[in-house]
């Protein structure tokens, strides 16, 4: 069955630390990949997306992600986190551009001052 | 970015009753809307896809007679949970998109069935 896996359910780190969240998918063929963020009490927002081209994509708020096709991975990174990055992060995959999304379980990130 | 609202944000209903949740795109025309369900500490699970003026397409395992979806206009989709039971208690999230554009998510509706 097609699936999206996020390796960490809960991450705690200090401000200025680097963040990397893992995401693997089990779809075959061409996929479109997304990272969404949900800040406390807010709705899901798009951080970044990959459709094609440069496998290193940059998103909002200093986030970037790298698509590694051979590893079926799309890991999210930020070199130096801030307290305001405390949120839940979801990886998502679709086969058809902006169509039906399959989400990973999410990773709760807590950044301590 | 575009704004999607949901109403109500929180609802409690008694077992056996029906409850309607609205999803509105406030500043764009949404040809497609999606309904998701999220259990505590779990991911969003797609329930159905609705295109304006068409019948919704339900995901496998989702009872279409229990979760009635109506997408009557380009700015409004409704999800009606019929004959609700405690196991229907969950967080329901909608998203909306215009053709070729990203999905914009609503803030969600917390349903508690007593």
Reported as a single tens digit per residue, the pLDDT across B41-65 is 778 999 999 988 888 999 999 999 9
B chain contacts of residue A4, beta-carbon cutoff 8 Å: 43
Q: Do the Cβ atoms of B90 and B36 come closer than 8 Å?
A: no
pLDDT averaged over every residue in chain B: 93
The pLDDT tens digits of the residues spanning A38-95 come to 998 889 999 999 999 999 999 999 999 999 999 999 999 999 999 999 999 999 999 8
pLDDT band at B91 (very low <50, low <70, confident <90, very high): very high
Mean pLDDT score, B7-24? 97
CA distance, residue B107 to nearest chain A CA (Å): 4
pLDDT of residue B99: 79
| Tokens, residue B77 | 């989709």
> Are A43 and B97 an interchain contact pair (Cβ–Cβ within 8 Å)?
no
Q: Do the Cβ atoms of B83 and B18 come closer than 8 Å?
A: yes
Closest Cα in chain A to B38 = A105
Q: How far apart are CA A113 and CA A41, in angstroms?
A: 20
């Amino acid at each position: 069955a097609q699936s999206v896996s996020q390796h960490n359910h809960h991450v705690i780190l200090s401000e200025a630390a680097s963040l990397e969240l893992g995401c693997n998918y089990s779809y075959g063929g061409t996929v479109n990949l997304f990272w969404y963020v949900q800040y406390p009490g807010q709705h899901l927002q798009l951080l970044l997306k990959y459709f094609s081209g440069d496998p290193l994509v940059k998103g909002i708020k200093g986030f970037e992600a790298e698509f590694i096709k051979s590893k079926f991975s799309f890991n999210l990174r930020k070199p130096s986190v801030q307290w305001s990055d405390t949120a839940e992060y979801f990886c998502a995959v679709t086969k058809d551009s902006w169509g039906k999304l399959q989400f990973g379980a999410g990773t709760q990130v807590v950044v301590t001052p | 970015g575009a704004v999607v609202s949901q109403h109500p944000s929180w609802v409690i209903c008694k077992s056996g009753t029906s409850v309607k949740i609205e999803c509105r795109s406030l500043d764009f025309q949404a040809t497609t809307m999606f309904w998701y369900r999220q259990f505590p500490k779990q991911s969003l699970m797609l329930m159905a896809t609705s295109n304006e003026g068409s019948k919704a397409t339900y995901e496998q395992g989702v009872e279409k007679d229990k979760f009635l979806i109506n997408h009557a206009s380009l700015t409004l989709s409704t999800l009606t949970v019929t004959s609700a039971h405690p196991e229907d208690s969950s967080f329901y999230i909608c998203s909306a998109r215009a053709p070729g554009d990203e999905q914009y998510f609503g803030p969600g509706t917390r349903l508690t069935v007593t």
